[in-house]
């Protein structure tokens, strides 16, 4: 199969600038990424787009392609990146993935640290979703010295201890030992007059208010990641992320198990014996539910779709109503009389569980 022209693949003019090529690539990569595009030829399209982009985004390769086309002597060095995650295509890593000359890596620059914040919410908030304002303490470059750590107008001077090497050599017997200079921390320069605001650290702590949207269906341990809201990176490196870890508080009525809810519901012995329409609380409202005559403790009734929503929004769990039959602990004279009458006209073996139990006991002692 003949290879398509790379400019045609990306749909750009032969004179297109680097910005346009990048932008077009990103749009196409997002459109044909197999995670998003279920059509069977999306994967091949995605690979074709990646290949075209790799050649056209490299000035040397591009000029050879312009002159010789696909058959250029030496060919083209195409790397199969697989499928970079959509996050990476969208986010900061875009440049790291594709925009960097191959074989060279940025070294010594560290991304900022991630921050973790715990957030307690009620079961109702977890069911409905909610919006919360977080106050997050984090660092930013000192506003007084712009992160240099030195007093305004002063500049760092060569470290007198190491003479700017950042390292110190010691003679220990026959050995020569090299250590990072403790005075400048290896930077080779020291600050004579520290910034009064940050005392030379170059950083200041700020409280940032952040609005976070909590989707319906979160559970304890669910984590939301806010990209770039962590600590600042070193020397221009990207900042870390903020991880919001959710804790859902216990509810006095409902116990939760994933998207299922369990409600333990006491029912009077009379209602259980005669059958009754009881009022059952759910998350949103009270619903009426029939319990049949002869309902026992431990019986579970299921109210479909009255549980918790799932995170994907397509599903709702059930509410399981666990019945416990409650006996009266205090009876008045009239109630006692009536129950005694009832007892007289009720044969001892009229309850199947009790009858079966007695049969077993009889058998047991016959042996």
Residues that bind Zn ion (CB under 5 A): 142, 144-145, 159, 161-162, 181, 183-184, 195, 197-198
Residue 96 or 204 with smaller CB distance to Zn ion: 204
Report in angstroms how near the CB of residue 141 gets to Zn ion at its nearest. Answer: 8
Residue 204 or 318 with smaller CB distance to Zn ion: 204
CA 129/CA 299 separation, integer angstroms: 32
Report in angstroms how near the CB of residue 203 gets to Zn ion at its nearest. Answer: 8
3-state secondary structure the chain: CCCCCHHHHHCCCCCCCHHHHHHHHHHHHHHHCCCCCCCCCHHHHHHHHHHHHHHHCCHHHHHHHHHHHHHCCCCCCCCCCCCCCHHHHHCCHHHHHHHCCCCCCCCCCCCCCCEEEEEEECHHHHHHCEEEEEEEEEEEECCCCCCCCECCCCCCEECCCCCCCCEEEEEECCEEEEEECCCCCCCCEECCCECCCCCCCCEEEEEEEEEEEECCCCCCCCEEEECCCCCCCHHHCCCCCEEEEEEECCCCCEEEECCEEEEEEEEEHHHHHHCEEEEEECCCCEEEEEECCCCCCCCEEEECCCCCECCCCCCECCEEEEEEEECCCCCCHHHHHHHHHHHHCCCHHHCHHHHHHHHHHHHHHHC
Length of the chain: 367
Report in angstroms how near the CB of residue 190 gets to Zn ion at its nearest. Answer: 7
Answer yes or no: are the C-beta atoms of 219 and 126 closer than 8 Å.
Answer: yes
Report in angstroms how near the CB of residue 111 gets to Zn ion at its nearest. Answer: 22
Residue 14 or 179 with smaller CB distance to Zn ion: 179
Residue 161 or 237 with smaller CB distance to Zn ion: 161
CA dihedral sign, ordered 331, 337, 342, 345: positive
CA 194/CA 201 separation, integer angstroms: 8
CA angle 356, 361, 364 (to 5 degrees): 125
Report in angstroms how near the CB of residue 153 gets to Zn ion at its nearest. Answer: 13
Report in angstroms how near the CB of residue 196 gets to Zn ion at its nearest. Answer: 8
Residue 159 or 267 with smaller CB distance to Zn ion: 159
Residue 182 or 296 with smaller CB distance to Zn ion: 182
Residue 134 or 161 with smaller CB distance to Zn ion: 161
Residue 183 or 324 with smaller CB distance to Zn ion: 183
CA 159/CA 157 separation, integer angstroms: 6
Report in angstroms how near the CB of residue 211 gets to Zn ion at its nearest. Answer: 29
Report in angstroms how near the CB of residue 144 gets to Zn ion at its nearest. Answer: 4
Report in angstroms how near the CB of residue 108 gets to Zn ion at its nearest. Answer: 17
Residue 43 or 144 with smaller CB distance to Zn ion: 144
């Amino acid at each position: 199969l003949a290879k398509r022209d790379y400019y045609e693949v990306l749909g750009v003019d032969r004179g297109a600038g680097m910005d346009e090529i990048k932008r077009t690539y990103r749009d196409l990569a997002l459109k044909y990424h197999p995670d998003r595009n279920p059509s069977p030829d999306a994967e091949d399209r995605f690979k074709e787009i990646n290949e075209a982009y790799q050649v056209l985004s490299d000035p040397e390769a591009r000029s050879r392609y312009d002159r010789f086309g696909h058959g250029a002597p030496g060919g083209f060095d195409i790397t199969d990146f697989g499928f970079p995650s959509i996050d990476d295509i969208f986010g900061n890593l875009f440049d790291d993935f594709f925009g960097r000359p191959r074989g060279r890596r940025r070294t010594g620059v560290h991304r900022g640290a991630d921050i973790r914040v715990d957030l307690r919410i009620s079961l109702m908030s977890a069911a409905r979703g909610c919006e919360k304002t977080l106050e997050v303490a984090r660092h930013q470059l000192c506003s007084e010295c712009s992160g240099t750590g030195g007093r305004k107008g002063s500049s760092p001077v060569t470290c007198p201890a190491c003479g700017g090497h950042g390292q110190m050599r010691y003679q220990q017997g026959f050995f020569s030992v090299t250590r990072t200079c403790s005075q400048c921390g290896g930077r080779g320069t020291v600050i004579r007059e520290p910034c009064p605001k940050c005392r030379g650290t170059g950083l200041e702590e700020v409280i940032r208010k952040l609005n976070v949207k909590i989707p319906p269906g979160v559970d304890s341990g669910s984590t939301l990641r806010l990209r770039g809201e962590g600590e600042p990176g070193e020397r221009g490196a990207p900042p870390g992320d903020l991880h919001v870890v959710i804790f859902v508080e216990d509810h006095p009525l409902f116990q939760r198990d994933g998207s299922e809810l369990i409600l333990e519901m006491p029912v009077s012995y009379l209602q259980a014996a005669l059958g009754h329409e009881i009022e059952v609380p759910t998350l949103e409202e009270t619903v009426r539910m029939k319990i049949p005559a002869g309902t026992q403790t431990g019986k579970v009734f299921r109210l479909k779709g009255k549980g918790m929503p799932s995170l994907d929004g397509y599903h709702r769990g059930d509410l399981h109503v666990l019945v416990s039959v409650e006996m009266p602990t205090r009876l008045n004279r009239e109630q006692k009389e009536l129950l005694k009458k009832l007892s007289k006209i009720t044969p001892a073996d009229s309850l199947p569980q009790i009858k079966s139990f007695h049969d077993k006991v009889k058998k047991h002692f016959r042996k």
